[in-house]
Structure 1
Amino acid sequence: MSPDSPSTAAGGTDAPTDDPSDPIPFRLLPQTSEVSEEGRLRVGGCDLVDLAAQFGTPLFVYDEAHLRARCREAVSAFDGGAAYAAKAFLCAAMARLAISEGMDIDVSSGGELATVLRAFDGDTAESLAQRIVLHGNNKSVAELGMARAAGVGRIVVDSADELDRLDELHRADGMVQRVLLRVTPGVRAETHEYISTGQADSKFGFGIGQGIAAAAVERAAAMSSIELTGIHCHIGSQVFRVESLAKALDVVAEFAAPLFGSSGPAAGRLDELSMGGGLGVAYVESERAPTITEWGAALSSRWAALSQRHGLDARLVAEPGRAIAAAAAVTLYTVGALKEVPGVRTYAAVDGGYGDNPRPMLYGSDYTAFMPARAAEHRPDRVRLVGKHCESGDVIVRSAPMPAGLVAGDLVATPVTGAYGYSMGAPYNRIGRPAVVFVADGDARLVVRRETIDDMVALDIH
């Protein structure tokens, strides 16, 4: 089949379908995906079967053009006020890509901060530090000190204890750090409990409903050791209803008006209002998700009205991570064993699993699957795609659609695995994490090498 056929080329006319027995829909694949005349899937001009042979499996394959397009879309949708949420997927190459496309970067630990800084040479890293935002509900003194020494642009403060730590650090060196205060608006996102963060009962931020957030603003505004420059809010991840994100904006604006208005204790201090990230993505055939552009349009128009009504003049900021990285990647696996349980199901065991994608085990998240060598074929069969880790819960796809005739040795793939797969993976059973490649214009470059047994035993003390 010709890669230029409108039904198979990237950006083609495949209609959304709820039927997983159809060929894998292109809307779940990276942007440059196309099917060759031999029926094999190419991404970034690279044949996935060839990549598996070259780099081994499991393997994360990222479409660089897709990543760049989503970064540009976010920068445009939020008028430059977009920071990439590094926790979704981070390595040196990803940090350089996001920065080069005009995004800031938000990090959630000293390790993530160091990764971003080390992705650039010394002088460049120092100048780019202003584009880094540090998050975290329990930042250590060491992490705060590291961020301040690097000159990060903003620290998002989560607690009164953190204000104390910043005060202590200021007494030692006199440095005044720009900060945002994270508030919880009491808006519950329609998502899994473990990734819902906007409700009052949350480990994150200062609660608006209990008066804690207002007290934190008053205290921060009076402190000489920090410069209060705005508010941060995040209600959760994998949110499909833009209305939920807009509702949180309503609550935060109502909260901010008397505090940051002309007669408030923090008058003139609201330079930045960050609504975090959380936009959902479609993982399976039946799901639909808003685009970054739709999200940006909804929040920007709402903020324009709210800021005028309340007399607030602040830059609206968003922090997409999943929406940037998720659909940019597929994970390649090799089937090692098939087990048929008559009258029940067929298990297909692959060479990865929980260690490279813990989301199904943690959240019950669902994925779909396909065979890269037979990408244009219908998928009438069903298998339970499982990993090789020693857990019954190590299930990658509970009911994976497959072309007929799957056998041991076949290459299978799960799409939409670019976010929270590599970053949340772990060497459980001392099975190393996969390699990561970026593909573009027919070239594949290794950006993260495969974790080896030597890597895993290096920390052991004999």
Structure 2
Amino acid sequence: MTHTHVAGSIHADATTAGPQWLDRPSDLNLLDPALWSSQVRRGEDGSVRVAGLDVREIADQVGTPAYVVDEADFRERARAFRDAFTGWQVYYAGKSFLTRSVARWISEEGLYLDVCSGGELAVALAGGMDPARIGLHGNNKSVAELEHALSSGVGRIIVDSLDEIGRIEQLCSENGWTARVMVRVTTGVEAHTHEYIATAHEDQKFGFSITNGQAMVAMVRCHYSEHMELLGVHSHIGSQIFDTHGFEVAARRTMKLLAQFSAATGTELPELDLGGGFGIAYTQADTPSTPDALARNLREIVEHEARGWNIVVPTMSIEPGRAICGPTTMALYEVGTVKVVDVDGGQNRVYVSVDGGMSDNIRPALYAAEYSAAVVSRNSDAEPVLSRVVGKHCEGGDILVRDVFLPADIRPGDLLAVPASGAYSRSMASNYNMLTKPPVVAVREGELSTLIRRETLEDLLRLDVGQ
């Protein structure tokens, strides 16, 4: 069941007894390996370990809420994409989650890196990422951002408007630079995902339309510009996608565009990027593909389309972000209050309030994203009860996990973890209600390291310069 409502998930099916896909667990102490990182285990005492380190010790050291990254799992997932897509360029989508340490991990595992702002570019460079292996995205890049990218020597800029092309030409003319660019195109593919994360239909802000000829106009302008080297075209159909059917349509339309461009100009463009958006398991209902399966299917699609349009298979690239970082991280909370609420039909729902909320994971409120949760500080033999995990914000839509079975004896002080929290949680975090943003810590072989420290009230006041 998908809960979607323009005003947020709390307004959709508010009194349901739970979605049809949510099964009553036979043992609440079992952790579904599809949802948790590879180094997560529950110990005999009931407390969960991440790469050998007890979550209770993590909470003691850094407090809660906190994002806990399994570094070995992150690196394993990066390598899995690198190896499955041998011969392709694998760009990690930094917008999903990026720190200087993550940039270093990505570099050490042989991946490229895609950034979407001057801030992300600065973090990537500070983390030691080779600028030649960085691509810059964005539908409204400022002159300052473009200047930073060009002066740093980024490997490619994905252009998104004629205005941007003009800005790049002016900067290059003034400084003697040549910009390596790809043209972002919209393929008209309707990805089976939420409206807010579908990005290839015509009525949205990204890219040049293939259908109305805008894409060809942009490509021709870049190709004949004395300040640009046109590498190819870029497509992205959306996020949290579980199959490759949409990519098949996108590949057909983009490779047709490449063939048409070649016929018109006599030049075969060398590169094609099919984007990312590969889904992960947030709940037991999710069935994501593996990197090997994705690679096999996408290779077949691209080779088939190349034969059909009688063109050479271009250098291909993809941009996994969520599929690498998402499953590697749990959000760790402490339970503060437990409240039983009567709902329609004479049923009850248990509201479990934790010390975080929509400021550290906006996705459930933003587009009804579903998550799972488990008590991780102890075992429980209590009956499962349908629960809703909510935050501490002054907002009715402050829901972290809409429907989940938790033990009936859940109580204040328990540690609760939400798996698959690595993508778009910390990167979309806010200071709503003046809450400070949680830290991000990584665990490897039992050792804890801090990637991003916890914000403090002093940090908030330091930015507030008023009297």
| TM-score, L = length of structure 1 | 0.92
- Per-residue deviation, residues 205-228 of structure 1 (Å, max 9, x unmatched): 000011111111111111111100
**What does residue 264 of structure 2 align with?**
264
Q: Following TM superposition, where does structure 1 have runs of at least 4 consecutive aligned residues deviating by more than 3 angstroms?
A: 374-379
For 2:153 and 2:419, the matched residues in 1 are separated by 38
Whether 1:281 and 2:288 are equivalent positions in the alignment is no
Alpha-carbon deviation of 1:18?
5.8
SS of the residue corresponding to residue 34 of structure 2 reads helix
Matched, 1:401 2:400: no
Mean Cα deviation higher: 288-297 or 435-444: 288-297
Which whole-Å CA distance do the structure 2 matches of 1:375 and 1:221 have between them?
63
CA distance in 2, matches of 1:242, 1:314: 19
1:379 Cα deviation from its structure 2 partner: 6.6
Q: What's the offset of the Cα at 1:283?
A: 0.5
Deviation of 1:432 after TM superposition, in Å, equals 0.7
Deviation of 1:271 (Å): 1.8
Quick one: which amino acid aligns to residue 223 of structure 1? S
Distance 1:252 1:313 in 2: 12
Residue type matched to 2:296 in 1? A
CA distance, structure 2, for counterparts of residue 91 and residue 20 of structure 1: 38
> 1: distance between equivalents of 2:379 and 2:90?
35
Q: Deviations over 1:321-374 (max 9, x none)?
A: 000011111111001112222443221111001111000000011111101124
Letter in 2 for 1:62: V
How high is the TM-score relative to the length of structure 2?
0.91
- Counterpart CA distance in 2 for 1:286 and 1:376 is 24
445-454 or 32-41, larger mean C-alpha shift: 32-41
Deviations 1:376-397 (A, max 9, x none): 8687112211101111100111
Distance in 2 (CA, whole Å) between partners of 1:54 and 1:173 is 50
Change (3 A) 1:155 1:142: same
- Note the alpha carbon deviations across 1:292-320, whole angstroms, 9 max, x for none: 22112111122122224421341110000
Aligned pairs, number: 437
Give the secondary-structure state (helix, strand or coil) at the position aligned to 2:67. strand
Within 5 Å, give how 1:44-443 maps onto structure 2.
Answer: 44-79=51-86, 80-120=88-128, 128-259=130-261, 261=262, 263-265=263-265, 267-268=267-268, 270-309=269-308, 310-342=310-342, 343-374=347-378, 380-443=384-447
State the SS of the aligned residue for 1:87.
Answer: coil
CA distance in 2, matches of 1:376, 1:418: 27
User: Structure 2: how far apart are the matches of 1:198 and 1:250?
Assistant: 14
Contact 1:20 1:379 in 2 (8 A): no
Q: For structure 1, which segment, 377-386 or 226-235, has the greater mean C-alpha deviation from structure 2 after superposition? A: 377-386
Deviation at residue 133 of structure 1 after TM alignment: 0.2
| 5+ long unaligned stretches in structure 1 | 1-16
Gapped regions of structure 2 (runs ≥ 5): 1-20
Which whole-Å CA distance do the structure 1 matches of 2:328 and 2:465 have between them?
Answer: 39
* Aligned mates of 1:253, 1:291 — CA distance in 2: 25
CA offset at residue 404 of structure 1? Answer: 2.7
The alignment's C-alpha RMSD in Å is 1.6
Secondary structure (helix, strand or coil) at the match of 2:356 reads coil
SS, match of residue 299 in structure 1? helix
Range moving further from structure 2, 210-219 or 146-155: 210-219
**Structure 1: distance between partners of 2:436 and 2:68:** 17
| C-alpha distance 456-71 of structure 1, shift in aligned 2 (>3 A) | same
